[in-house]
RNA sequence: GGUGGGUUGGCAGAGUGGUUGAAUGCACCGGUCUUGAAAACCGGCAUGCGUGAAAGCGUAUCCAGGGUUCGAAUCCCUGACCCACCGCCA
């Protein structure tokens, strides 16, 4: 959500930012609504002030036992005019807010301009894809041959885009998530959270999924929404709160299921575990002071990359261009892991600085020690990592010629002594 | 799901429909006193919005939304949440 006062002050910069994202200039329309709203509000307040004064006078007269009928009659007349002005002001305000709520965040100055993912810029690359002396299989072939990854049975009960992991693969997924959580909590300073997976619409408005992207979400009949990412419950921890400066930075991590309708993705990544309606993800969220959010984005991205480094999975980090960034982000790094089965890098993490965009929507503030007015915090979120896709990466990168999977060293403590995953006996 | 009770400032807690943004206490900030501190005493102490160069002025806010009234923290209706008990339940 944007600050209308800031738009008032620098409308050109606002429109220029929208243009970089491929959106039309809106400041003129916003400022017209804003001016109308304020004029109507002032008029309503003037009428109200007169009525309040009259009501006081009536009270004063009555307490002295005097007659006040003339005033009562006079004041009654202004009632409709006031109600009308108030209603109009509210209508304009609603219109303004409705429009504001659908406007994406403005990209940072250093975000590369571009139309789509082809214009993203690689900022670094880590690791060297292994050379196989056989043709590497993709995770579907590997998992099904192991007899521990079953798309057909999942489809029987749930339809497309679900999977049933069993045995050692189910354990491997659990191991990955536990490993990530341990690193983030024990080494990276994040507090582990086990949050609700069903939330109200206000929470989704706060992080920016609503009102624009309802189609991407699952909605229950009794009006809950399934979270598409733990970013939603973790960031909303700060909603409607004003914390002390000393409480920042606040860092939270959670392993949750994420539920996405994938409404606009029909036909895309239909094979395998890459794009599912339900997947496990370990998420990181930070609330920081405005002057700290640039550094925090770098830090968070390093925390995510650290997981891949310790799993010895090759990856590259890209800076998203203006056209590929999410609604609430001012700057985003995607981390893409190497998948030998697809012979390409695929997104496994996305780390974003939302600045005060979400904080303003959910009213998340902090107060500096010097006692000045509360300010909005800056919020950041990043996957650390997408567990399902990480499982895919482990299978494809650690596969052996016979179809068995070597367990990455970092996961051995989580695998009950098992070093290699083989087909079920 | 049922019945009953509740929701007032940072906290606790008053508040006969009339000049109440709201008593009082605690906390907090400033001052007096003190070698220093404590105590005592004095004063201050909510937020949003509009307007204004500023001081200020106006307006709204006592869970939320409607209503009655010249006037609502106070009366009426609806809803949310909390607490207790009952039922059900991992």
Give me A72's structure tokens. 């009562």
Residue-wise burial string across A317-328, b where 16 or more C-beta atoms lie within 10 A, e elsewhere: bbbbbbbbbbbb
Q: How many CA atoms lie within 13 A of A248 on its CB side?
A: 27
* Nucleotide nearest A38 (Cα, C1'): B50
Is the CB of A77 within 7 Å of strand B? no
Among A62-71, A132-141, A412-421, the range scoring the smallest mean pLDDT is: A62-71
The answer to whether A260 is a known catalytic residue is yes
Give pLDDT, residue A371.
64
Among chain A residues 341 through 370, which have CB within 7 angstroms of nucleic chain B? none
CATH top class, domain A4-100: mainly alpha
Average pLDDT, chain A: 92
The answer to whether A389 is a known catalytic residue is yes
- Of the residues A350, A360, A361, A396, which is catalytic? A350
pLDDT of A402 higher than 60: yes
Q: Which CATH superfamily is domain A117-421 in?
A: Bira Bifunctional Protein; Domain 2 (3.30.930.10)
Residues of chain A with pLDDT > 70, as a percent, come to 99
Is the CB of A244 within 7 Å of strand B? no
Residues of chain A with pLDDT > 90, as a percent, come to 71
- Segment A375-397, tens digit of pLDDT: 899 999 999 999 999 999 999 99
- Of the residues A347, A368, A375, A404, which is catalytic? A347
Average pLDDT over residues A198-208: 90
Rounded distance in angstroms from the CA atom of residue A101 to the C1' atom of nucleotide B21: 32
The answer to whether A5 is a known catalytic residue is no
- Of the residues A260, A346, A355, A360, which is catalytic? A260
Who has greater pLDDT, A140 or A48?
A140
Per-residue H/E/C for chain A: CCCHHHHHHCHHHHHHHHHHCCCCCCHHHHHHHHHHHHHHHHHHHHHHHHHHHHHHHHHHHHHCCCCCHHHHHHHHHCHHHHHHHHHHHHHHHHHHHHHHCCCCCCCCCCCCCCCCHHHCEEEEEECCCCCCCCCCCCHHHHHHHHCCEEHHHHHHHHCCCCCEECHHHHHHHHHHHHHHHHHHHHCCCCEECCCCCEECHHHHHHHCCCCCCHHHCCECCCCCEECCCCHHHHHHHHCCEEEEHHHCCEEEEEEEEEECCCHHHCCCCCCCCCCCCEEEEEEEEEEECHHHHHHHHHHHHHHHHHHHHHCCCCEEEEECCCCCCCCCCCEEEEEEEEECCCCEEEEEEEEEECCCHHHHHHCEEEECCCCCCCEECEEEEEEEEEHHHHHHHHHHHCECCCCCEECCHHHHHHCCCCCEECCCC
| Cα A88 to chain centroid, rounded | 34
Is the CB of A87 within 7 Å of strand B? no
Is the CB of A215 within 7 Å of strand B? no
Is the CB of A45 within 7 Å of strand B? yes
The answer to whether A302 is a known catalytic residue is no
- Segment A259-318, tens digit of pLDDT: 999 988 888 898 999 999 999 999 999 999 999 999 999 999 999 999 999 999 999 999
At residue A81 the predicted structure's pLDDT band, cuts being 50, 70 and 90, is: confident
Q: What is the pTM of this model?
A: 0.92
Give pLDDT, residue A156.
94
Among A110-119, A151-160, A241-250, A322-331, the range scoring the smallest mean pLDDT is: A241-250
Is the CB of A239 within 7 Å of strand B? no
With tokens 């994040």, the residue in question is: A190
At residue A339 the predicted structure's pLDDT band, cuts being 50, 70 and 90, is: very high
pLDDT of A425 higher than 70: no
Average pLDDT over residues A90-104: 88
Residue A332 burial (10 A CB sphere; 0-12, 13-18, 19+): buried
Q: Count the Cβ atoms, other than its own, within 10 Å of residue A6.
A: 12
Give pLDDT, residue A340.
96
Average pLDDT over residues A412-417: 95
Rounded distance in angstroms from the CA atom of residue A360 to the C1' atom of nucleotide B25: 36
The answer to whether A29 is a known catalytic residue is no
- Segment A34-68, tens digit of pLDDT: 999 999 888 888 888 888 888 888 888 887 777 77
Give the domain ranges of chain A: 4-100, 117-421
């Amino acid at each position: 959500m944007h600050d209308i006062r800031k738009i008032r002050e620098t409308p050109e910069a606002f429109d220029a930012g929208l243009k970089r994202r491929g959106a039309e200039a809106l400041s003129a329309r916003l400022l017209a609504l804003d001016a109308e709203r304020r004029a109507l509000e002032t008029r309503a307040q003037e009428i109200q002030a007169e009525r309040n004064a009259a009501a006081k006078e009536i009270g004063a007269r009555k307490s002295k036992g005097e007659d006040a009928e003339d005033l009562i009659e006079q004041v009654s007349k202004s009632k409709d005019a006031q109600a009308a002005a108030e209603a109009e002001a509210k209508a304009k305000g609603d219109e303004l807010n409705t429009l504001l709520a659908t406007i994406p965040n403005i990209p940072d100055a250093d975000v590369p301009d571009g139309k789509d993912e082809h214009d993203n810029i690689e900022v670094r690359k880590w690791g060297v894809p292994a050379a196989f002396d056989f043709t590497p299989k993709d995770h579907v072939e590997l998992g099904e041959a192991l007899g521990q990854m079953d798309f057909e049975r999942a489809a029987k009960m749930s339809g497309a885009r679900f999977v049933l992991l069993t045995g050692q693969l189910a354990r491997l997924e659990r191991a990955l998530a536990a490993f990530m959580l341990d690193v983030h909590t024990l080494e990276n300073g994040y507090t582990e959270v086990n949050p609700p997976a069903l939330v109200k619409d206000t929470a989704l408005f706060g992080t920016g999924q609503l009102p624009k992207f309802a189609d991407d979400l699952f909605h229950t009949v009794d009006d809950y929404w399934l979270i598409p990412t733990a970013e939603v419950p973790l960031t909303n921890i700060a909603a409607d709160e004003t914390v002390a400066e000393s409480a920042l930075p606040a860092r939270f991590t959670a392993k949750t299921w994420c539920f996405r309708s994938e409404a606009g993705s029909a036909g895309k990544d239909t094979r395998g575990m890459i794009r599912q309606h339900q997947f496990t993800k370990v998420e990181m969220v930070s609330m920081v002071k405005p002057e700290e959010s640039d550094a925090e984005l770098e830090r968070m991205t390093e925390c995510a990359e650290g997981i891949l480094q310790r799993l010895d999975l090759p990856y590259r980090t890209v800076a998203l261009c203006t056209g590929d960034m999410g609604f609430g982000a001012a700057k985003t790094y995607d981390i893409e892991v190497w998948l030998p089965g697809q012979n390409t890098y695929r997104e496994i993490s996305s780390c974003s600085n939302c600045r005060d965009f979400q904080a303003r929507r959910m009213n998340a503030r902090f107060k500096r020690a010097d006692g000045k007015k509360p300010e909005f915090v800056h919020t950041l979120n990043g996957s650390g990592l997408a567990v399902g896709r990480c499982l895919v990466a482990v299978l494809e990168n650690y596969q052996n010629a016979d179809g068995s999977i070597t367990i990455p060293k970092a996961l051995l403590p989580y695998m009950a002594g098992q070093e290699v995953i083989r087909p079920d006996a």
